[in-house]
Amino acid sequence: MKIQSITTWQNGQSKQANNFVLFIVNDNLLNYCTFNYQLQYLTETIIPATETEPEKIIINADTLISGNLSIGGQDYEDWDASPSANQWAYEWAAGQLNLVLIPE
């Protein structure tokens, strides 16, 4: 999911994270879940079409930051009850990390 770019340090260099990935590491399906998140810098390379090949877009993802977030209690119940659980989880996690999501 695209995010408003944030600046971070990696190997002594300032870099911009512009993408947010979230996935489940462990969910007891009752009241507790651990997510893994990654803040990435995405780049696109466009290879022009030729007479024999269509245009190609190559996306490279450089993970700058990764970590885990745990959800439980009322937040878990709200997530479980949401008709759009994936969007709810992204919004919840972005709030925990002070990220601004950019609608696609």
CB burial of residue 35 (10 Å; 0-12, 13-18, 19+): buried
Q: Quick one: pLDDT at residue 5?
A: 96
What is the tens place of the pLDDT at every residue in 24-71?
Answer: 999 999 999 999 999 999 999 999 999 999 999 999 999 999 999 999
The percentage of residues in the chain with a pLDDT greater than 90, rounded to a whole number, is: 94
CB 6 within 8 A of CB 15: no
Q: Quick one: pLDDT at residue 87?
A: 97
23: Cβ–Cβ under 8 A, 6 or more apart, which residues?
35, 36
Is residue 94 very low, low, confident or very high in pLDDT (cuts 50, 70, 90)? very high
